[in-house]
Amino acid sequence: MTMIPIASFATNGTTQGFTNIPQNFVSLQLRISYTNGAGFQNIYFNGDNTATNYYSNHYGGQNSAINLYYGNFPFIGYTTGPVNSYIVDIPDYNLTSKYKTALASFVGDNNSASTGLVTKTAVLWTSTAAITSLALNFSGGAIGATGVISLYGWTGQ
């Protein structure tokens, strides 16, 4: 499969997003890299910010601690410090016969031997609508213009 860049921009603010997502790919991949952010990150599809329309299962590790979260919210992870990266895969985003899923992988480093974090999060959006837009909300505060958010489409070949 081939990955085709759709759009990319520098981070700046508490909410970032993409609109008019082309519908001619098999799946989408979102890549997020930034520094100096804080708080929880949520993903919203097609402007739907109703928490009960989403289910998340999250697990991760920080040092010797294990973190487990689940519930009705569009959570994809949280920031630990100055260096943060996500990859979010969204398969079958354009199919109208099934609910939408996303799988987020996160790694964060606070430049300390005791504060690194690695997580995996699965998100279910209970809608059969094709995803035409997505928004990321950084609820702990604005992330600076030191990062990049990119959206890619995967072809079927």
Report how many domains make up the chain.
Answer: 1
Give, for all 157 residues of the chain, the pLDDT tens digit. 688 999 987 766 667 789 999 999 999 999 988 776 655 678 899 999 998 999 988 887 766 677 776 666 666 665 556 677 889 999 999 999 999 999 988 887 766 666 677 788 899 999 999 999 998 887 665 566 667 889 999 997 6
Question: What does the pLDDT look like over 83-117, one tens digit per residue?
Answer: 778 899 999 999 999 999 999 888 877 666 666 77
Rounded Cα distance between 96 and 100, Å, is: 9
3-class DSSP state of 77: strand
Which residue, 87, 109, 103, 85, is CA-closest to 33? 85
Which residue, 147, 139, 135, is CA-closest to 88? 135
Considering the chain, what percentage of its residues have pLDDT values greater than 70? Answer: 73
Question: What does the pLDDT look like over 33-42, one tens digit per residue?
Answer: 877 665 567 8
Q: Residue 30: beta bridge partners?
A: 88, 151
Supply the CATH number for residue 145's domain.
2.60.120
At residue 141, the pLDDT reads 58
| Residue 43, domain extent | 3-154
